[in-house]
Structure 1
Amino acid sequence: MTAAPAPIPAAGLSRTDLLAALCVVVVWGLNFVAMKVGLRDFTPFQLGAARYLVAAFPLVLLVRRPQVAWRWLLLYGLTQGVGQFGFLFCAMQVGMSAGLASVLLQTQVFITAVLSFVLLGERAGRALQLGLLLACAGLLCFALNYLAPGGGAGATTFWGFVLNLCAAAMWASSNIVIRKAREHSPDMDPLGFVVWSCLVPVLPFAALSWWQDPPELRWHWLQAPLLAWAAVAYLAWMASVLGYALWTRLLQRHPANRVAPFSLGVPVVGLSAGMLLLGEGITPWQWGGITLVVMALACVLGGDGLLKNRRLR
């Protein structure tokens, strides 16, 4: 007879856990600046291959493979790795600022809700429905930016916008994969799942680089400066390994509704870092879109609790 799992504590976050949550917010927010720096010397596919190769080794030699079928590791590696970051790196190369990328990527919350309804039969609550409407209005503001006179000028392009949304859709798809994997293997180790799935994108990214990159750029990564490799190391060890490890630990120790609101800080850090470190500008239409998307996220993360409180009153 096995012992029952320890209940998640009802108390608030300790000082250590609060620092861990803030660390994740800063690490993931600066993640987008590191992408921009890496793309100066790597093609999108080269950066993807380098990121996951560095993230996988030597950790796969130290972390035990999770007790989960290989198909879920493959699907997660293809959707979250090749899909999400393949589209995101391409978006940032053809015209998407680091700050706006951090905001648009958060639309995965709403795409996940749509996929969950279609594929898993999960219904959306009122707060999520309102959040979806606000997010659609925000995306409309981003789209109108390219129709307004001179609105498309700056650090973003229409195709960068489209590819960024494709990245969000692939992140949402990977969320569905995780849910299905947990249904089949409830006791799987989240950290082991992330580490071992990092093996999957390496060969597809390398093949895409050999197929799509110009011949003169195929071996250009060998001459990349130290700063570019520092960006790769940041993406691999800080954003992927440290960020997901801390986030997983927080979710294991506290209810999801107490941890999830910290994700609202990621686009704030991403926008601030893009403007301060990269000198990125934001148009009025984009500010409108940013405001609506952040309001939508806040509605989804805290709306259900407010609605319950009103009903109790």
Structure 2
Amino acid sequence: MPLSERLTPIELLAILAVVVIWGVNNAAAAVATDHIPPMATVTLRFFMAALCLAPFIRPPFPNWRSLLVIVGLGGPLHYGLIYLAFWLARDVSPVSVAAQLWIPFTSLFAFLMLGERLSKAAMVGMAVAFLGVAWMGIDPAVLSEWDAIAVTVAASAAWAITTVVARRTTSIPPLKMQGLLALTTFPLAGLASLAFETGQVQAVAAAPPIAWAAVAWGGLASSLVATSLLFWLVQRREAGRVTPYLLATPVVSIVIGAGVLGDVLTAQILIGAALTICGVAVVALAERGLRAGASRG
């Protein structure tokens, strides 16, 4: 569809579903890791996803070097780090906001790795986004959790590299790629859990229904439903038409964190979150403008 066409009601509903599912999943990750160690949680989540996605994992496997980067960085490394961040953090909101840095990281790595143009607006947006995370991070309520924020930034960088590599790996269907990612992630996360965690078997056995529901939400609703909807959207539209709307995801997480999980929200945290989201929005819209210009050129 042309970039100038308005999004249809069905597309807007799909975007809303993705935002809500991912926003809830941030809270679900925090709930799950309250009861089950993070690597064990990742193992369970992607075991569920792999079972559902197994029918899509069939030969051939072209671009295997790029595929190894995608399933390695985008699977056990990214998800291992992000679940570790939620386990380290006391509150959901700061981690959910910092996780949005994958968008400016993607533009930066696309410039460094693929030679894509990086506009002045995008550079300003990056600076504002990182300033927002820094401003949020020096709040006393968050300062003690800087390890969680740092791990989140690393997870965002890993996902951004995955996204850049995936851009040039168009010969692999999205669900096949997602299935390979799940199939790679759950055994490697399981090995990491055996190596670095203790008491995971007892924790899994004693986990309450809410923890299992949180794991299932990640493995089914997030990995399958939201991802499938996102793939459907970007197959119909350029990614730049969709990405800005996804910035509402941390808003959902903040509402759940403050209203249900008891997150501490100070004015400084909210200002930092707003700066980060605005900066990321500038990057996303700048990329959208570049791609629109390229399509008209």
Same fold at TM > 0.5? yes
Q: AA paired with 1:222?
A: A
Aligned mate of 1:133, from 127, 130, 137: 127
SS in 1 for 2:263: coil
Provide Cα deviations, 1:277-297, integer angstroms capped at 9, x if missing partner.
212112332222111111112
Name the count of aligned residue pairs.
292
Q: Indicate the residue corresponding to 2:158 in structure 1.
A: 170
Identify if the C-alpha distance between structure 1 residues 178 and 160 changes in structure 2 by more than 3 Å, giving closer, same or farther. Answer: same
State the shift of 1:266 in Å: 0.7
Equivalents in 2 of 1:167, 1:306: separation in Å? 27
State the shift of 1:68 in Å: 2.9
Would the aligned equivalents of 1:152 and 1:158 in 2 still touch at CA under 8 Å? Answer: no
Would the aligned equivalents of 1:65 and 1:193 in 2 still touch at CA under 8 Å? Answer: no
Q: AA paired with 1:88?
A: I
Identify if the C-alpha distance between structure 1 residues 8 and 87 changes in structure 2 by more than 3 Å, giving closer, same or farther. Answer: same
Equivalents in 2 of 1:143, 1:277: separation in Å? 22
State the shift of 1:108 in Å: 1.0
SS in 2 for 1:39: helix
State the shift of 1:63 in Å: 5.7
Identify if the C-alpha distance between structure 1 residues 249 and 297 changes in structure 2 by more than 3 Å, giving closer, same or farther. Answer: same
Q: Indicate the residue corresponding to 1:45 in structure 2.
A: 39
Bigger Rg, structure 1 or 2: 1
Query: Where in structure 2 are the equivalents of 1:22-33 lying within 5 Å?
Result: 22-33=16-27
Q: AA paired with 1:197?
A: L
SS in 1 for 2:164: helix
Is residue 283 from structure 1 mapped to residue 283 from structure 2 by the alignment?
no
Equivalents in 1 of 2:274, 2:3: separation in Å? 33
Q: Indicate the residue corresponding to 1:160 in structure 2.
A: 148
SS in 2 for 1:80: helix
Would the aligned equivalents of 1:102 and 1:267 in 2 still touch at CA under 8 Å? Answer: yes
| Over 6 Å off, 4+ runs | 304-309
Identify if the C-alpha distance between structure 1 residues 304 and 94 changes in structure 2 by more than 3 Å, giving closer, same or farther. Answer: closer
Aligned mate of 1:255, from 209, 217, 238: 238
Q: Which runs of 5 or more residues in structure 1 are unaligned?
A: 1-6, 146-150
Q: AA paired with 1:74?
A: L
Sequence identity of aligned pairs in percent?
27
Would the aligned equivalents of 1:209 and 1:218 in 2 still touch at CA under 8 Å? Answer: no
Q: AA paired with 1:251?
A: V
Q: Indicate the residue corresponding to 2:173 in structure 1.
A: 189
Q: CA RMSD in A?
A: 2.4
Q: Indicate the residue corresponding to 1:94 in structure 2.
A: 88
Would the aligned equivalents of 1:111 and 1:169 in 2 still touch at CA under 8 Å? Answer: yes
Equivalents in 2 of 1:258, 1:113: separation in Å? 15
Q: Indicate the residue corresponding to 2:196 in structure 1.
A: 212
Q: Indicate the residue corresponding to 1:4 in structure 2.
A: none
Aligned mate of 1:83, from 36, 61, 77: 77
Equivalents in 2 of 1:300, 1:190: separation in Å? 24
Would the aligned equivalents of 1:87 and 1:163 in 2 still touch at CA under 8 Å? Answer: yes
Is residue 244 from structure 1 mapped to residue 232 from structure 2 by the alignment?
no
SS in 2 for 1:116: helix
Q: Give the structure with the higher percent helix.
A: 2
Q: Which runs of 5 or more residues in structure 2 are unaligned?
A: none
Would the aligned equivalents of 1:210 and 1:218 in 2 still touch at CA under 8 Å? Answer: no
Identify if the C-alpha distance between structure 1 residues 9 and 282 changes in structure 2 by more than 3 Å, giving closer, same or farther. Answer: closer
State the shift of 1:121 in Å: 2.2
Would the aligned equivalents of 2:28 and 2:217 in 1 still touch at CA under 8 Å? Answer: yes
Provide Cα deviations, 1:199-225, integer angstroms capped at 9, x if missing partner.
0011111111111112x3344313322
SS in 1 for 2:183: coil
Identify if the C-alpha distance between structure 1 residues 294 and 228 changes in structure 2 by more than 3 Å, giving closer, same or farther. Answer: same
State the shift of 1:118 in Å: 2.3
Identify if the C-alpha distance between structure 1 residues 279 and 159 changes in structure 2 by more than 3 Å, giving closer, same or farther. Answer: same
Would the aligned equivalents of 1:49 and 1:202 in 2 still touch at CA under 8 Å? Answer: yes
Equivalents in 1 of 2:82, 2:32: separation in Å? 13
Equivalents in 2 of 1:143, 1:36: separation in Å? 19
Equivalents in 2 of 1:85, 1:78: separation in Å? 10
Equivalents in 2 of 1:265, 1:207: separation in Å? 35
Q: AA paired with 2:187?
A: L
Provide Cα deviations, 1:292-311, integer angstroms capped at 9, x if missing partner.
111112212334778999xx
